[in-house]
Amino acid sequence: MKIRINTLIYVLLATFLLAGCDDFVEEVEVVAPTAEESGEVFTPTQFITGVYGRHTDFSYAFAYLGITEIISDNADKGSSPTDTGTDKHLLDGLTYTSTSPSFRDMWTQWYKTIGRATLAIEYTEDYEPINESLRQRLIGEAKFLRALNYFWLVRGFGDVPIQEVNLVDRAPVSEVYAYIEQDLIDAAASLPAKGDYAVADIGRATRGAAQGLLAKVYLYEKKWQQAADMANTVINSGDYALEPDYATVWRASTENGPESLFELQARGEIIAHGIQQYSQTQGARGPSGWGWGFNTPSEDLLNAFNEAGDTVRRDATIIFAGETLFDGREVSSSVENPRYNEKAYSSANPGAGESDKNIRILRYAEILLIEAEALNELGQSAAALGPLNLVRERVNLSDITTTDQGALRQMIWNERRLELAFEHDRWFDLIRTGQAESVMTALGLPFGEKNKLFPIPNDQLIQTPEMTQNPGW
């Protein structure tokens, strides 16, 4: 990772647009000190880097785990029975409420990031002097990041305010998605290809990242043709490829490699603020352990790997009590939990508070699976087999040959689960595909209609009582 992320943003002083609404929207006073005041004049590049810096917060090491994986069939709370992780036991058991802090934390995190991205765009649009191509690239980066955060919001909460339009009224999902689409279309038009960045800028948003996220957005909207076309654009760009060995996909050796479309960056060339405690919160707990033990692979996920004969992805995803890891670290058989998330493991700094672990947000294997799913939904099931089987061949699984649309649909969904386990999409896949109720109730969990959307955080409704709550909450 090359970008130096710094949460003490050079040009940002936090103020708030509405009194008492600090958990919803952050407005920022733009300050460009003179050379006499500070010895330098801050640039749009530094401002945009500050938007990336919003993604290193501790929320991504705890609340984010709760509402993306622990809540799903992929994971259990983990840790010790008496350590609730504040509300992780409630998320695990689907007994959470609108006061559960993990929802508040991510709602806050995503909206503050959106606010910072918008102000970075405005600052960059007006800044002089600046090379025009650099100006457009930086604006494209900010639009990509803004779209990513709105995508996280709309998937979880449904109708949400478009902050740049109205701070309280919740825009319909269709309008939010249209806003996301436009930001990503704009970003793709102004961002360079992955290989065109200087070494010092590796990790910034690229044209392929914008196009890949747009393909995923279209998939969630069930815009099958657009999803297939955009995924195909990424595939035909020649900028991306599968890593030969699945076991290395989440290791330091492949960070920002050929499979990566976008990652949350952890560290620069010097020790700097990384994604706080991402590895630590999920590390093995107890004898020989290095962490808190949260977000542990469920027995249901283990069974899914075993039923598929998928030993490669199983053993690259799950740390088993008593095993010796790829770097020689021995995991005691007496650790607190039987399984841990290997994709969160850092060999160099396993229990460090300042994590050095990049979080993969979008990678080429998912683009192949997006194309496969979209083509199958378009009735082009034979064509869907090509990208699907590329993903399977890497992990030594036999090719799928069926062209029955219904059977293939389920196989593609299952492939997503096994390929992308612990990559923070499982819950949203269950919701969008309509599987959530049957899957969760089969596990004895109380899934109901209201669980299809997260509750709007109660703290937000106290601060803005005119904002509406989701049904059932």
Report pLDDT digits (tens) over 256-289: 999 999 999 986 554 456 788 999 999 999 999 9
Given a cut of 60, is residue 119 above it in pLDDT? Answer: yes
Indicate the helix (H) or strand (E) that contains 410: helix 405-419
* pLDDT, position 183: 98
Q: What is the pLDDT of residue 441?
A: 98
Same domain, 294 and 156: no
pLDDT of amino acid 41 = 57
Q: Which pLDDT band holds residue 2 (cuts at 50, 70, 90)?
A: very low
Residue that has been written with the tokens 């076991």 in this structure: 247
The pLDDT tens digits of the residues spanning 188-221 come to 999 999 999 999 899 999 999 999 999 999 999 9
Please, what is the average pLDDT of the chain?
A: 91
What is the count of structural domains for the chain? 2
> In 10 A of CB 473, how many CB atoms?
15
Residue 184 inside a domain? The answer is yes
* Tokens representing residue 265 in the block: 């960056």
For residue 349, what pLDDT band results from cuts at 50, 70 and 90? confident
Cβ contact 234:266 at 8 Å? no
Residues in the chain: 473
CB-CB contact of 188 with 214 (8 Å): yes
Asked, for residue 407, whether it belongs to a domain, the answer is: no
Asked if residue 175 and residue 293 are part of one domain, the reply reads no
Indicate if 42 and 171 belong to the same structural domain. Answer: yes
Q: Which amino acid is at 156?
A: G
* Strand pairing class (12-15; 75-78): unpaired
Number of neighbours of residue 406 by Cβ within 10 angstroms: 10
Any domain includes 413: no
Indicate whether 32 pLDDT > 70. no
Q: Where is the domain boundary, 191, 208, 226? A: 191
Residue 54 lies inside a defined structural domain of this protein: yes
pLDDT tens, position by position, 224-249: 999 999 999 999 999 999 999 999 99
Q: How far apart, in Å, are the Cα atoms of 462 and each of 23, 99, 454, 469?
A: 11, 11, 17, 11
State both tokens at 78.
Answer: 């983990």
| Residue 261 belongs to some domain of the structure | no
Q: Which residues contact 397 (CB under 8 A, 6 or more apart)?
A: 308, 309, 310
Same domain for 61 and 162?
Answer: yes
Residue 27 confidence (pLDDT) above 50: no
Strand, coil or helix: 196? helix
Rounded to 5°, the CA angle 450-452-456 comes to: 70
Nearest CA to 279 out of 348, 220, 207 is that of 348
Cα distance between residue 155 and residue 220, in whole Å? 8
Q: Which two tokens stand for residue 179?
A: 């806003």
SS3 325: coil
pLDDT in tens, 59-72: 999 999 999 999 99
Q: How far apart are CA 8 and CA 16, in angstroms?
A: 17
Residues 180 and 306 in one domain: no
- In a domain? residue 238: no
pLDDT confidence tier of residue 351, bands split at 50, 70 and 90: confident
- Give the domain range for residue 91: 1-191
324 DSSP 8-state letter: B
Our CA dihedral for 52, 56, 57, 60, rounded to 10 degrees, sits at 110
Q: Are residues 167 and 60 in the same domain?
A: yes
**Which of 141, 163, 191 represents a domain boundary (last residue)?**
191
Q: In terms of domains, do 185 and 329 share one?
A: no
Question: From residue 26, how far is each of 9, 13, 46, 72, 456 by CA, in Å?
Answer: 14, 10, 18, 30, 18
**Spatial separation of the C-alpha atoms in residues 140 and 180, rounded to whole Å:** 13
User: What is the rounded average pLDDT of the residues 84-102?
Assistant: 98
Residue 185 has pLDDT above 80, yes or no: yes
158 and 60 in a common domain: yes
Any idea which of 1-10, 41-50, 418-427 has the lowest mean pLDDT?
1-10
Tokens of 432: 């969008």
**Same domain? 158 vs 303:** no
CATH code for position 9: 1.25.40.390
- Asked if residue 388 is part of any domain, the answer here is no
In angstroms, the CA 416 to CA 386 distance is: 15
**Widest pairwise Cα distance in the chain:** 71
What are the beta bridge partners of residue 303?
none
| pLDDT tens digits for range 386-419 | 999 999 999 999 999 999 999 999 999 999 999 9
Helix axes 381-394, 364-377, angle to 10 degrees: 160
Would residue 68 count as lying in a domain? yes
End residue of a domain, out of 191, 206, 231: 191
- C-alpha closest to that of 427 among 152, 217, 174: 152
Mean pLDDT in residue range 418-437: 98
